[in-house]
Amino acid sequence: MAGLAKLEGKVAVVTGGAGGMGRGIAEELLARGAKVVIGDIERDTVAATASAIGAVGVVTDVSKIESVRALADETLRRFGRVDIVCNNAGVGPFAKIEDMTLDDWKFMIDVNLWGVIHGINVFLPHLIGNKNGGHMVNTASQGGLVAFPRVGGYCTTKFAVVGMSESLAAELAQDHPKVGVSILCPGPVNTNINRSSRNRPATLAAIGARDVEMSDTTKDFKGAVNWLEPRQVGEIVADSIEDGRLYAITHPEMFGPIRARHDAIAAAHAPGG
Please state, in angstroms and rounded to a whole number, the distance separating the CA atoms of residues 213 and 217: 8
Residue 46 has a pLDDT of 98
Nearest CA among 228, 226, 227, 250 for reference residue 237 = 250
DSSP 33: T
List of residues 6+ apart from 75 with CB closer than 8 A: 11, 13, 37, 56, 58, 82
Q: Is the confidence at residue 126, as pLDDT, over 60?
A: yes
Residue 196 has a pLDDT of 56
List of residues 6+ apart from 156 with CB closer than 8 A: 108, 109
**pTM (2 d.p.):** 0.91
**Catalytically active residues, by annotation:** 154
Q: Is the confidence at residue 224, as pLDDT, over 90?
A: no
Mean of per-residue pLDDT scores for the chain = 91
Q: Is the confidence at residue 216, as pLDDT, over 60?
A: no
Name the band, by pLDDT with cuts 50, 70 and 90, for residue 215: low
Query: pLDDT above 70 covers what percent of the chain?
Result: 87
Q: What is the pLDDT of residues 235-264, one digit of tens each?
A: 999 999 999 999 999 999 999 999 999 999
Q: How much is the average pLDDT of 114-143?
A: 97
Name the band, by pLDDT with cuts 50, 70 and 90, for residue 272: confident
Q: Is the confidence at residue 80, as pLDDT, over 60?
A: yes
Residue 226 has a pLDDT of 86
Q: What is the pLDDT of residues 83-107, one digit of tens each?
A: 999 999 999 878 899 999 999 999 9
Q: Is the confidence at residue 203, as pLDDT, over 70?
A: no
Name the band, by pLDDT with cuts 50, 70 and 90, for residue 227: confident
Residue 5 has a pLDDT of 85
How far from each other are the two terminal CA atoms of the chain, in whole angstroms? 34
Please state, in angstroms and rounded to a whole number, the distance separating the CA atoms of residues 20 and 90: 10
Q: Which CATH number fits domain 11-269: 3.30.1330.10, 3.40.50.300, 3.40.50.720, 3.40.50.150?
A: 3.40.50.720
Q: How much is the average pLDDT of 195-211?
A: 60
Q: What is the pLDDT of residues 142-178, one digit of tens each?
A: 999 999 999 999 999 999 999 999 999 999 999 999 9
Q: Residue ranges per domain, the chain?
A: 11-269
